[in-house]
Structure 1
Amino acid sequence: MVVDVSYILKEHSEDATQASSGVTGILAVQGAFAEHAAMLDRLGAPWKLLRAREDFDEPIDRVILPGGESTTQGKLLRSTGLFDPINEHIKAGKPVFGTCAGMILLAQRLENDPNVYFGALDATVRRNAYGRQLGSFMATENITTFNTDGTKSGIIENFPLVFIRGPFVAETGPNAQVMCTTNGNMVALQQGNILATAFHPEITGNTRVHEYFLSL
């Protein structure tokens, strides 16, 4: 999906400033935040970019952590003051969706990195798992969705997976459910209202994963 250049200048959707709830905050300190904003516009869902602590306000009831460079995002989360309100949001059990670098930020353990960021997702994640040569590829897989008690709730069939030097899940704990595997690797997890994918649904033009996130 090619994103309109107008998204470079947008800070929120047209309806976000009037909304008293139901707004998705998209972390926008670095990475592919514009693609998520464009996807939410396609679904008619209000959103605003999160660049500083004051951007995280009362109408926000879900958060997207986009792909990008996780170490850079981790540092900027601290310097902008956004780490604490997003961490409180996650601890309160509110919906959060991490893609690629966002999965790394959510993980409790990183296999090849001593840093831990939000530490909410019961999994060990390997950064840059596919290496530089195989850093970008595509696949098509089914994605299983889950209820908050861990029972299966449905299947998103034949979803296009786009990987850009992505991570994968090396190990899960008992609290996380595997939503999707490809080539024998776990690449999407759900834990209650936490979604995390190693791939980039926001650049496929296929809205079904975002629709599911908005349903949580």
Structure 2
Amino acid sequence: MEKTVGVLAVQGAFIEHRRRIEQLGFQAVELRNGDDARSELDGLVLPGGESTVQSKLLRELDMFEPLANKLSEGMPVFGTCAGLILLAQQVANGPVAGAEHAAPTSSHVAISGFATMPVTVVRNAYGRQLGSFHIADGQFFGDATGVEAAGGDSAASVPTVAQIPMTFIRAPHIAQYGDGVEVLAALPDGTPVAVTYGNQLGATFHPELDDDMSIYNTFAQML
């Protein structure tokens, strides 16, 4: 049976994600209201955009609770940029804020997301003037992180599987990550830019804007 992946379509770069999901051979449906969010889904994509706007619209459109329930039941999810912020348990504001400035995602802070991934992210970490950049030699570790988790080897022993392009647009920064989080991709200097936690995948960059499908293939494996 064909898998169905919901793509949050209230704001942000959801069309490009839908095309990538279809390229993988899955059915992609755009989620715009509570009825959509309550439909039968095998996975969820949270696109980039404005995390504060998305968190607000999720509640106003009666989408937050049904999607939160699906995530709590273990549905695979892929969040990019703002989508990662919605998944993070701790959120801080950049460009110079560090983990010590982070606050739990809850109703009394600007961003109130799903808080399902034990990571601390810094919003607008690179500042508004340096908000966008592109590299061709990002490090992608692929399934090697799974070997690390199962075998107990040190991170230093995990080889780089491939170099992939990465496009960053006012990107967040992963300042800290907790137990069970594995680094899937990094900048050439080792800065983590994509992580997995169980069947959750989060990236600070926009893989939907480049041709490389490595990150999407990892999500496909979760499905």
TM-score (norm 2): 0.81
- Does residue 86 (structure 1) correspond to residue 67 (structure 2)? The answer is yes
Q: Is the 8 A contact 1:148 1:193 kept in 2?
A: no
Cα deviation, 1:53-98, whole Å, max 9, x if unaligned, reads 1113453110000000000000000011111111112111221000
Structure 1 residue matching 2:29: 3-state secondary structure: strand
- Mark the runs of 5 or more structure 2 residues left unpaired by the alignment: 94-102, 104-108, 152-157
Task: Give the one of 123, 127, 134 matched to 1:131.
Answer: 127
Q: What is the 5 A alignment of 1:121-200?
A: 121-139=117-135, 140-145=137-142, 146-147=145-146, 150-151=149-150, 157-182=162-187, 183-200=189-206
Q: Is the 8 A contact 2:88 2:118 kept in 1?
A: yes
CA apart distance, 1:21: 5.8
CA apart distance, 1:189: 0.9
Q: Is the 8 A contact 1:67 1:200 kept in 2?
A: yes
- With 187-196 and 40-49 compared, the bigger mean Cα shift is at 40-49
Question: d(CA) in 1 for partners of 2:169 and 2:163?
Answer: 19
Question: d(CA) in 1 for partners of 2:179 and 2:54?
Answer: 28
- Mark the runs of 5 or more structure 1 residues left unpaired by the alignment: 1-19
Structure 1 residue matching 2:15: 3-state secondary structure: helix
Q: What is the 5 A alignment of 1:32-51?
A: 32-51=13-32
CA apart distance, 1:40: 1.8
Matched-pair identity in %: 40
Question: d(CA) in 2 for partners of 1:191 and 1:73?
Answer: 22
CA apart distance, 1:22: 1.4
CA apart distance, 1:171: 0.8
CA apart distance, 1:43: 2.2
Question: d(CA) in 2 for partners of 1:158 and 1:184?
Answer: 13
- With 124-133 and 111-120 compared, the bigger mean Cα shift is at 111-120
Counterpart position of 1:8: none
CA apart distance, 1:148: 10
Counterpart position of 1:119: 115
Compared CA separation, residues 149 and 86, structure 1 to 2 (3 A): farther
Aligned pairs, number: 197
Matched residue type, 1:25: G
Q: Is the 8 A contact 2:4 2:42 kept in 1?
A: yes
Structure 2 residue matching 1:60: 3-state secondary structure: coil
